[in-house]
Amino acid sequence: MPQSTRFGRSVAAMSAVGVLSLMSCSPDSPLELSTRPLPDCGAAKGSYESFGAAFFQNYCIRCHSVTLESDLERLDAPQGIDFNTLQMAREFSRRIRLRAGELGDMPPQILLGPRPTEAERLQLVDWIDCGMLSDDELSGG
């Protein structure tokens, strides 16, 4: 019994180490968001015009655009998941927050091309959490 308990513990310890080293070797770089304070949305978090549009343009649109038709052109980005307008991006806000913000595996790490910085990913999360506002909405219009 003590023998098997010790065995069980070391297996548990080994798999914990395994999980940790997998995480550190993983190409993904998740953000630690659970300890992050809720954004102060009263302060300027950027708008679609000052932040969101350029973010999607720089990092997403070369695959997720209505102008790209074939899977080849889209580099396999799923059909119908496009971010050309604020309204389109809003449809996928939860998935965008998860993949491009929290997990950081969009754009896919395996493909070359520009990637958002950590600061930009955090700003994306804040902008989404604050309602993905446009200039008009920010100014109360």
Give residue 11's Cα distance to chain centre.
Answer: 33
Tell me how far, at minimum, the Cβ of 48 lies from ligand HEC, in Å: 14
Q: Identify which of residues 96 and 132 has a Cβ nearer to ligand HEC in the complex.
A: 96
Q: Does 90 bind ligand HEC (CB under 6 A)?
A: no
Residues 6+ apart with CB under 8 A from 118: 29, 31
Q: Under the criterion CB under 6 A, does residue 130 sit at the interface with ligand HEC?
A: no
Tokens 């649109």 belong to 61
Tokens 């996928």 correspond to what residue? 92
Task: By CB under 6 A, tell whether 127 contacts ligand HEC.
Answer: no
Selected from 86, 92, 120, 134, the binder of ligand HEC by CB under 6 A is: 92
Work out how close the CB of 136 gets to ligand HEC at its nearest, in angstroms, rounded to a whole number: 23
Q: Is 77 in the site for ligand HEC (CB under 6 A)?
A: yes
- Decide: is 95 part of the binding site for ligand HEC (CB under 6 A): yes
CB 115 within 8 A of CB 59: yes
Contacts of 90-96 with CB under 8 Å at 24 or more apart are 90/132, 93/128, 93/132, 96/124, 96/128
Our finding on whether 128 is near ligand HEC (CB under 6 A) is no
Look at the alpha carbons of 77, 81, 83, 89 in this order and tell me if their dihedral is positive or negative: negative
Cβ at position 130, least distance to ligand HEC in Å: 17
Residues that bind ligand HEC (CB under 6 A): 59-60, 62-64, 75-78, 81, 92, 95-96, 99-100, 106-108, 111, 113
